Structure 1
Amino acid sequence: MRKSIKGQLILLFLLLSLTPTAVIFVIYSPGMLKDLKIQVTQWLSTNSKSQVRLITLWLRGRLRETELLATSPQFISCLKSSRASASGGQRAPTNLPEARLTTHETSPHATGLYLFDKEGELRAFVGKEAESASGGFPHLDKEILGEILRGSPSLHYLPTGVAMPLSAIAAEKTSNHSLFISIPLSVPETKEVIGGLVAEIDLHQTKGILEGISLPDTHSFLVDGNGSVLACLTPGPEGKASAPSASPSPSAQGFGLLRAGSGGQRAPTDSLTEGIKACLQGKKEGYSPCVYTNHLGQKVLGTWGWVPELGVGVIVEADVKEVFRPVAAMRGRLWWLLLIIGIGVTIVAIFTGRKLSEPLVTLASTARKIAQGHLEERANIQSPNEIGELAQCINQMADSLQEKNAQLARINEKPAKDGQ
């Protein structure tokens, strides 16, 4: 079976051209993509840790401001006087409008202050928001009151009645960005705890703090010591919240369930994500090198930190699909580049193979016809290389054969004439 030299040349050019490209792609492409993925992961880890540290510093700053407010002589004397004047009936809380200026100077992030006595009854409040919230004469949650009497500050979220499980968080939107810091109030001379100060802290300012460094595909939130989500600091992917839904005002619910989950349903242990579990177990800064599924059902990488002064954890999660989208895009571009190179090399190989094989095919056809006795055939090839030289040799050979045949014909004709 005769094989065409044209096909063999085309195949040879394809092998010589594509083999180095394919080898380079196979050897270097996975390593390059792996290095890129490592760089993205390291950059994400650094960025997420920066967010955790910023949030931790911000929370500690709000705690320090609340601690300074708790030393206010006006608040201490207010609780003393309310305790001394308290009788058997319930007493309406006192508005302290003159304390608003001092409160704003000391803690500009506090939108409302609430003073509770040792029995957990609201005795005084500061701020317009607090004034609208005080109408129900609420009582402080017993668990929070116990922490205050033990001298422990804590951070709380005001839920709608019971703590929301993590599975229900994804369907909610966060519109009320407030948390509450509770601090014990004590008499400076005797160190006796006479009540507690609860400061309502606006979380909207964290958005401005994190806006400069947070990535659009990361979201951060706070959890308490039981894994219940307290608040969303930055919105999650596609605007989904990572914290419980907005709560009604304190006048509607009171402070009976000031801690997320107290007196109600807590997040079950088996529903906690790997990031929350690691945060609660280690209670220190950490980073997840492995992908896990968050409560929104997305594959994420998590970073966390613990604020021991408030007993809360700060968690930052990044959507893996979005974070590594540049890596996937780079992989796709490499495949497209290989495809384009392959198509281009194939076209060049076909054109070059035809260009080189065409004179050889012409020579073979001419030689075949000459061998069949068609001595008038000539190879019309003008080329400065060996192929052109071969064509001239074939033409000269045909001329020589044709001339020899003519001489033989003349010799054969002469005896015939002499015999006549």
Structure 2
Amino acid sequence: MSQRQVHLAAHFPGVNNTTVWSDPQSGSNIDFSSFEHFSRAAERGLFDFVFLAEGLRLREHKGEVFDLDTVGRPETVTVLSALSAVTRRLGLVGTLSATFNEPYDLARKLATLDHVSAGRAGWNVVTTNDAFTGENFRRGGYLDRADRYRRAVDFIHAARSMWDSDAGPFDFSSEFFSIFGNFPVPSSPQTHPVLFQAGDSPEGRDFACANADAIFTRHAALEDGKAFYADITERLARFGRSEDDLKVYPGVTFIIGDTHEAAVERSRSVAYQQVSGPGAIAFLERQWGRDLSAYDPNGPLPDIEPDDGSGNLSQGRVQHVKDPRPLIEEWRRLARDKNLSIRDLVVEVSTRHGFVGTADEIAGSMDEYIQERAADGFILIPHLTPGGLDEFVDTVVPALQARGVYRDEYPGDTLRDSMGLPGPTPADQWAAAREASDQPVGK
């Protein structure tokens, strides 16, 4: 039985606290030279794609942009279009909101990107419903959570209809859109850019299984990944799709060392670079809902209770925990048991160095994940901008190739070729399959 092949992709760092800005090798997350260096390294490593996150508003903490997080996010499609001129086979995937865009305009941009890149465009479909982001837009944060996936499904259907029109007339009416006209872009090399989705809620998983070609996940641990993969496979069947129709890519970090012990020590050093003293306090404030600036990050956890009123001093972040009190009690037990300071505790619970070891050890672990069906590939999140992929490409990629589980050349010209995806489903067939399903996604 042939071995399953490892797929690799990369997330451009600089928009989260994974990035170590204090490192002398750290560069700009805005200058195009950084995007170019990063993408050229990914292509040299035969990666499927490079992925750009996008925030439509900079995150704020206590009413100010938190300068240890990120300062600046260029517009995604513009950057990807420029990258198409300095790469030849690398996929170009951008996060773009289905809430604060319109189908005609975004479908035209993505079809154009697919043309100028010769078939390498991908769209990570996200939904946005918060009023904080909406303040940058005329309609504000009007969209209820219950409506955001329904709008996204209608948005995708409208875009597919335009892409299938081949520079012809389109007429699309739904709950959220009533649009008609002539699409100005001929059919692109992939016809439909590859669709991605990042979400872990039941609604998000169903949305991906019904609509996307790939799903991002935070499940990097082996057993968690296997459970997630099995759940996705089962959900796909409900929508009349097979395991091969949707690729699973967990986002993972990595630390490489000449020996295992050296890698572990380097991982610890990087973790403390990622979590500064002010960063640790801000991390706690997001759960306590209180100003904790009077506390020493090298001292014990606050003994006060969280604020049940505001509950969140940060804006622009996904709040995964609805009731912070059980989590805070768990942190207190952990801090007591291990004698952890505030900063120690935040390092313990927030850093995720998914693969730590020598190049051969990391290659072996990645191989195991793929063979055990915990993933189809990995989106690497390095801690340095822009050179964070270089060491991985130079050491781990050859180790994967030596195992016979990683390619020696690109299999084709398009992103679908690189990912091993089937061709796009025409809009009418896709819509009919959704209607035939007994699942409520988008309803």
TM-score (norm 2): 0.19
Instruction: Report the structure, 1 or 2, having the larger helix content.
Output: 1
**Structure (1 or 2) with the larger CA radius of gyration:** 1
Question: Does 1 or 2 have the higher relative contact order (CA < 8 Å, sep 6+)?
Answer: 2
TM-score (norm 1): 0.19
